[in-house]
């Protein structure tokens, strides 16, 4: 299958500290790809190697069909985690300048910026210094800066940082629109709900290694215990070995013993007198659960260089 970005067995060390030990994943055109991992796992270093800011010590990176070139950099949009704009410059001037450096003529950049400003509710602030904008506004401005040159590949680090729910929703919409436009997005985030809602596939990096890679749904199924979620009224019969893990109103999450399949459980409950099953599904773990399970306690790993 065609890939827009492919990272294979990547290694990168700073002196004695091996920050990236073995990272492999690929990103396909038109997909939203999650780059996940605890703090210090090596995500930022991986991004920087992809962007050719650092040279890899081993492995290979292929971007837009080959090694990184200056021309390709102009087709990439990068949003670093927080900040990344000149704080003493006026909003519009700064964004137009950054777009110019990417090869967009000033008038085109200005026209595009104004459309985005309207959408992100920044129009009234375009002549303010970035320093005078709120944190949320700065984050929106940062996102606009990433989009002005209409890149083919977007690498966005914590795009929802500092955004309220309304603006988070807006940013989500924009990210999905970018995918529809044909761009591929690599999104690094700690917000697992966003990963479930947006990402097609993910890679999970832990202590410098890619430990999980694949479609989100598949990963969730693979990590599912033998558990079900059932919404039912009436007196539920007790089945041997079944443990109730959680209950919210009429919805129960039940852990099943090895010998009992989900299908058997459904039949047993549906056949029980006086019980009316309204909803039934396999209980898939959240990405949050999987993240914690795979990486151990969150926040472990070396802090260096991330």
Partner 1 sequence: MLTILRIARIEFQRRASRRAFLLTLLVPVLIVGGIGLILTVTLSSLADAGRGNFAVVDPGGTLSAAVQPGGDAHFQRLADVDAARRALKDGTVKAVFVVTAGPGGTLNAEVQYLDEQPSEDVTDAFQRFASTARLGDLPVTSRLRVVEGATLHYATLEGGRDVDDAGLAAGFIAPIVLGVLFLVSLLGSAQYMLQSVVDEKETRVVEVLVTSVTSDQLMAGKIIGLSAIGLTQLLVWIGGFLIALRVAASRLPALQGVRIAPEFLITGLVLFTLELLLFASLLGAIGAIVSNAKAGSTLSTPIVMLAVLPEFFLPALMIDPQGAISVALSLFPFSAPLALLIRYASGSVPVWQVLLSIGLLIIAVIAALWLAARIFRYGLLRVGQNLRLRDVFQAVRA
The residues binding partner 1 (CB under 8 A) are 15, 48, 51, 53-54, 70, 73-74, 76, 78, 80-89, 97-98, 100-102, 145
β-pair partners for 5: 27, 63
Q: Name the minimum Å distance from CB 53 to partner 1.
A: 5
Dist CA 143 CA 94 (whole Å): 13
Nearer to partner 1, 70 or 248 (CB): 70
- As a dihedral over the C-alpha atoms of residue 187, residue 193, residue 198, residue 200, rounded to 10 degrees, the angle is 80
Compute CA distances 152 → 29, 97, 117, 157, 181, whole Å.
9, 20, 21, 16, 9
Q: Name the minimum Å distance from CB 80 to partner 1.
A: 5
Q: Name the minimum Å distance from CB 64 to partner 1.
A: 14
Dist CA 139 CA 149 (whole Å): 17
| Phi and psi at residue 205, to the nearest 5° | -105, 130
Output the furthest CA–CA distance in the chain (Å, rounded): 73
Compute CA distances 165 → 95, 168, 226, whole Å.
25, 5, 34
Nearer to partner 1, 63 or 232 (CB): 63
Nearer to partner 1, 80 or 229 (CB): 80
Q: Name the minimum Å distance from CB 30 to partner 1.
A: 22
The continuous run of DSSP H or E covering 33 comes out as: strand 32-36
Burial class (CB in 10 A: 0-12, 13-18, 19+), 88: exposed
The continuous run of DSSP H or E covering 170 comes out as: helix 165-181
Alpha helices for 60-121 (secondary structure H):
70-73, 91-101, 106-119
Q: Name the minimum Å distance from CB 4 to partner 1.
A: 16
Query: How would you label 254-263 residue by residue, b for 16+ Cβ within 10 Å and e otherwise?
Result: bebeeebebe
Question: How many Cβ atoms from other residues are within 10 Å of residue 269's Cβ?
Answer: 21
Q: Name the minimum Å distance from CB 63 to partner 1.
A: 12
Nearer to partner 1, 84 or 289 (CB): 84
In terms of Cα–Cα distance, which of 53, 50, 54, 78 is closest to 64? Answer: 50
Nearer to partner 1, 74 or 108 (CB): 74
Using DSSP, state whether 254 is helix, strand or coil: strand
Nearer to partner 1, 94 or 254 (CB): 94
Nearer to partner 1, 45 or 295 (CB): 45
Nearer to partner 1, 58 or 234 (CB): 58
Q: Name the minimum Å distance from CB 145 to partner 1.
A: 7
Q: Name the minimum Å distance from CB 58 to partner 1.
A: 17
Q: Name the minimum Å distance from CB 51 to partner 1.
A: 5
Nearer to partner 1, 20 or 242 (CB): 20
């Amino acid at each position: 299958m065609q890939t827009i970005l492919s990272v294979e067995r990547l290694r990168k060390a700073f002196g004695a500290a091996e920050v990236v030990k073995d990272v492999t994943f690929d990103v396909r055109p038109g997909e939203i790809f999650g780059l996940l991992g605890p703090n210090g796992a090596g995500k930022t270093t991986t991004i920087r190697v992809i962007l050719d800011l650092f040279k890899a010590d081993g492995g290979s990176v292929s971007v837009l069909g080959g090694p990184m070139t200056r021309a390709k950099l102009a087709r990439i949009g990068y949003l670093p985690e927080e900040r990344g704009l000149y704080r003493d410059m006026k909003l519009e001037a700064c964004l137009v300048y950054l777009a110019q450096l990417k090869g967009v003529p000033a008038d085109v950049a200005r026209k595009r910026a104004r459309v985005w400003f309207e959408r992100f509710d920044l129009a009234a602030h375009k002549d303010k210094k970035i320093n005078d904008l709120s944190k949320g506004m700065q984050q929106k401005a940062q996102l606009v800066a990433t989009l002005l040159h209409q890149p083919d590949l977007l690498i966005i680090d914590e795009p929802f940082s500092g955004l309220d729910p309304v603006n988070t929703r807006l940013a989500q919409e924009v990210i999905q629109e970018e995918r529809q436009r044909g761009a591929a997005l690599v999104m690094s985030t700690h917000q697992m709900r966003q990963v479930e809602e947006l990402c097609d596939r993910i890679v999970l990096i832990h202590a410098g290694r890619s430990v999980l890679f694949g479609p989100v749904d598949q990963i969730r199924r693979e990590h599912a215990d033998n558990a079900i979620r059932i919404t039912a009224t009436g007196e539920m019969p007790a089945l041997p070995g079944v443990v109730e893990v959680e209950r919210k109103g009429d919805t129960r999450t039940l852990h099943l013993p090895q010998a009992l399949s989900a299908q058997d459980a459904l039949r047993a409950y549906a056949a029980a007198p006086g019980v009316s099953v309204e909803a039934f599904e396999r209980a898939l773990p959240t990405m949050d659960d999987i993240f914690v399970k795979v990486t151990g306690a969150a926040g472990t790993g070396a802090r260096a260089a991330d």
